[in-house]
Amino acid sequence: MKRNIKNNVYWVGKIDWELETFHGDDYSVSNGSSQNAYLIKEEKTVLIDTVWTPHAAEFVDNLASEIDLESIDYIIANHGEVDHSGALPALMARIPNTPIYCTANAVKSLVGQFHHPEWNFKVVKTGDTLDIGNGKQLVFVEMPMLHWPDSMATYMTGDNILFSNDAFGQHFAVEELFNDKADPCLLWAEAMKYYANILNPFSPLVKKKIDEILALNLTIDIIAPSHGAIWREDPLQIVHKYYEWSQAYQTDQITIAYDTMWEGTTKIAHRIADEIARLSPDTRVKVFNIARGDKNDIMTEVFRSKAIAVGSPTVGNSILSSVAGWLEFLHELKFKNKKAAVFGCYGWSGESTKVLRERLTAAGLEVVEPEIKCNWNPDADILAEATRIAEALLR
Ligand code: FEO
């Protein structure tokens, strides 16, 4: 099961083709995923991260078939989240005194989750090193809020491998392990989805941390994240892409997202799309029914967009719960520098556009003045107002 990465470094993780969701049901997984763990066999034997709890027994059995578990000198826990630490209890039951190198916050996280304060934790900070023999060292780099307060990366000198944990990962099953073997369209789509839906709120920190890492002038031959493809071919391409994504990323795209009760709001959504396409044929336009689409995929399209339009009919003096939930997620993701417009039908009280406007403003979007608030079903005059929304979003 172990797979060679470079010299004496091996992948010992789990590729999970059946995973459908992550973070509970909050993140849709469309192309499988992996929890990448790594084994280094220099003069010292080092395990970097483990796998998610359901795979713990398989992981420990596989590891024991490759090496004597007692021969593991050090465990590195780059991050305490359970998809990387879930096999620690089963492993530590076999080798209870093995030191675990991690950040101070990771100790809190691991003790809080597994209730083993007696584990032999060794707290590390940025710049701390661990000699692993044969002239090689591990260098630790704290990565707070990328994406948890406890996150860190580990750099291996000599082989020049950055074990970056969640950063630069993708929820993407790559049996061949490496980026140069992966389907490039899926690889980049999954890398962007991961960034948009997990890392975007921390974009200012991403830029700062990348600046800090690049300033170290480290030679990086491989970036080995904890999910998805290992970046072996031109590894810095994903670093440069993160740098671009972290700076209020947008393309010439407008995304329209809505839900409807009796199709009136649907008609407005498509008329806005038509008007954008008519006025600006080069602008990419995408239209999604929030209740029927995948919320993470729609959010990735928002990430690519310079503007969005959001629609809901009025229900119960407010908006549809599907749209409300989606807007809560939008708020969490802290997108910057995007315009928004609102639209929706109503029969009686008509609060939906006001509620949409308030929630989009609170989420940090610049809401343009033109809107469509349509009593009952839209007629030709109402639909003609879509031109003003399209013009405002394109301006
Ligand atoms: Fe892949 Fe934050 O865990």
For ligand 1, whether the C-beta of 226 sits within 6 Å is yes
Q: How far is the CA of 322 from the centre of ligand 1 (A)?
A: 27
Break the chain into its structural domains and give their ranges. 3-245, 253-394
Q: How far is the CA of 81 from the centre of ligand 1 (A)?
A: 5
Mean pLDDT across the chain = 97
List pLDDT tens digits, range 69-84: 999 999 999 999 999 9
CB 161, CB 224: distance < 8 Å: yes
Is 367's pLDDT higher than 80? yes
User: Mean pLDDT across the stretch 313-323?
Assistant: 98
User: Mean pLDDT across the stretch 98-109?
Assistant: 98
Q: Rounded to a whole number, what is the distance in angstroms from the first to the last CA of the chain? A: 55
For ligand 1, whether the C-beta of 166 sits within 6 Å is yes
Helix (H, G, I), strand (E, B) or coil at 240: helix
Band (214; pLDDT cuts 50, 70, 90): confident
The verdict on whether omega for the bond into residue 147 sits within 30 degrees of 0, i.e. cis, is: yes
Query: In angstroms, rounded to a whole number, what is the distance separating the alpha carbons of residues 252 and 304?
Result: 8
List pLDDT tens digits, range 233-246: 999 999 999 999 99
Nearest to 150 by CA among 200, 89, 94, 102: 102
Is 1's pLDDT higher than 80? no
Q: Which CATH superfamily is domain 253-394 in?
A: Flavodoxin domain (3.40.50.360)
pLDDT of residue 216: 82
List pLDDT tens digits, range 144-192: 989 899 999 999 999 999 999 999 999 999 999 999 999 999 999 999 9
List pLDDT tens digits, range 296-311: 999 999 999 999 999 9
Q: How far is the CA of 166 from the centre of ligand 1 (A)?
A: 5
- Kindly report the CATH number that applies to the domain delimited by 3-245: 3.60.15.10
Is 16's pLDDT higher than 90? yes
CB 220, CB 272: distance < 8 Å: no
pLDDT of residue 385: 96
Percent of the chain whose pLDDT exceeds 90: 96
